[in-house]
Amino acid sequence: MPDATFGCPDLTTFCRLDELGLVVVGQRLEPDRAVLACRVLEADDGTEGWCRRCGCAGRPRDTVTRELAHEPLGRRPTTLLVTIRRYRCTGCGHVWRQDTSRAAEPWARLSRRGLAWALEAIVCQHLSIARVTQGLGVAWNTANDAVLAEGRRVLINDPGRLNGVKVIGVDEHVWRHTRRGDKYVTVIIDLTPVRAGTHPARLLDIIPGRSKAAFKA
């Protein structure tokens, strides 16, 4: 008898695409990457095919595709090839696409799961941007810009990230050894867990400039 703890094989669930509002409809294994063909799930509120400008019904016009780098599954980078339906309003002629905001930010090259994997790999597993780039199969600048923006949103802009900080360490660091640009940054570290003997020190922030100017500002 089948084990009740197992379900039917489901590539959409395995790749965690149900969290992104996508469903897998095909796959292609290439020598350097795995490509998953996906389509966007229709909105549950039934407003997808209606114009938000005038309220008239929309008529399917055509489809466009969007490539997103997803969290790697195995040793190959995983790419999502998402087919997006476009509508044209029968009243005002406005054209719009299916909403893919659950899958990725507008104009982003990384899916939300791919972006979360990259941030966790750098913060928790201490991987380099170059290693993350290999895992995602994207350009270095693409991965670096996305990780910096997401880290700023999730970590730096978190209003509670300084809760419990009682002891800090401050030091200057020379990070640029060229004539152009600011050579120094001020590193701020949370030493509270070291004082308590519970965890290692935690990086709080890196501020451009020397410590005296950083404190003054």
pLDDT tens for 47-60 read 788 888 898 999 99
Q: What is the mean pLDDT of the chain?
A: 89
Instruction: Kindly give, in sequence order, each residue whose CB lies less than 8 Å from that of residue 162, ignoring residues fewer than 6 positions away.
Output: 204
Residue 1 has pLDDT above 70, yes or no: no
- Beta strands at 168-174 and 95-97: parallel, antiparallel or unpaired: unpaired
- Residue 78, strand partner residues: 34, 70
Least Cα distance to 10 among 24, 28, 27 occurs for: 24
So what's the pLDDT on residue 55?
Answer: 87
Q: Where are the chain's structural domains? A: 11-156, 168-216
pLDDT tens for 133-188 read 999 999 999 999 999 899 888 878 888 888 999 999 988 888 777 777 678 888 88
The answer to whether 58 and 90 have CB atoms below 8 angstroms apart is: yes
